[in-house]
Amino acid sequence: MREIVFDTETTGLDPKTGDRMVEIGCVEMIGRVETGNTFHAYYNPERDMPAGAEAVHGLSASFLSDKGLFRDGAAELLEFLGDAPLVAHNASFDFGFLNNELQMVGLPEIDLGRMIDTVAMARKKFPGAKVSLDNLCTRFGVDRSHRIKHGALLDAELLAQVYVELTGGRQIGLGLSADTGTEASNAPVDSPVLPKPTGPRREARPHSASAAELAAHRTFLDQIETPIWLK
């Protein structure tokens, strides 16, 4: 199944009071495996950038001033999203901003039935625990050492790994307690972060025996007297 994990950065907390989406990052997954296909865009919000918001994501009004408008890139974004379920952390926030942008340019809003909220998933799985993206990365051993500020694509890539863990995935926190023999899956453990392959994809090697190999095998079998498989 195709799913899109995404994150947004904004000028503030509420699109109803004039806040706008300024960045979106999307990661494609098929069967809970990242395909390597991503979508990333910055948008000129046509307004100022509050200092508090800039402190979170580092995107200034000056930086965004020469970026495209959402209406000019909406079709490309919607084509990437397709009809896939959309995964986000505190998804109602991201859906609210995305649908506000779509509404402003006269495009249909995205059905909330496509929304998968990893905050709700984490709260159900770990009642009472902190479920920020940083906390979940620590719990599951996801490397976030390169996350200095919030960034939509980086956060979507981290969330994709967390989503796999929340849905059973690699279970890198699953272990056995030395004294009780019970699962100790809530304890963070060190896990190596393997680099993504960068070389050309190598086609699978054929595994069927060749005609010559089959003939040699038959000759070998014919030399065996009273083989056990004929008894």
Q: Does the annotation place 76 within a ligand binding site?
A: no
Phi and psi at 101, nearest 5°, equal -65, -40
Question: What does the radius of gyration of the chain's CA atoms come to, in whole angstroms?
Answer: 25
**CA-to-CA separations, 157 to 11, 48, 154, 160, in angstroms, rounded:** 22, 28, 5, 5
Q: Does the annotation place 9 within a ligand binding site?
A: yes
Instruction: Say whether 207 is catalytic.
Output: no
Active-site residue among 89, 150, 207, 217? 150
**Helix boundaries (H) for 67-210:** 70-81, 91-104, 118-125, 133-140, 152-166
Q: Does the annotation place 57 within a ligand binding site?
A: yes
Is residue 64 within 8 Å of 28, Cβ to Cβ? no
Q: Does the annotation place 89 within a ligand binding site?
A: no
Beta-strand pair 21-30/2-10: antiparallel
What is the end-to-end Cα distance of the chain in Å, rounded? Answer: 50
**CA-to-CA separations, 121 to 13, 87, 132, 165, in angstroms, rounded:** 22, 11, 12, 11
Binding residues for a divalent metal cation: 7, 9, 155
Binding residues: 7, 9, 57, 155
Binding residues for substrate: 7, 9, 57, 155
* Catalytic residue numbers, as ranges: 150
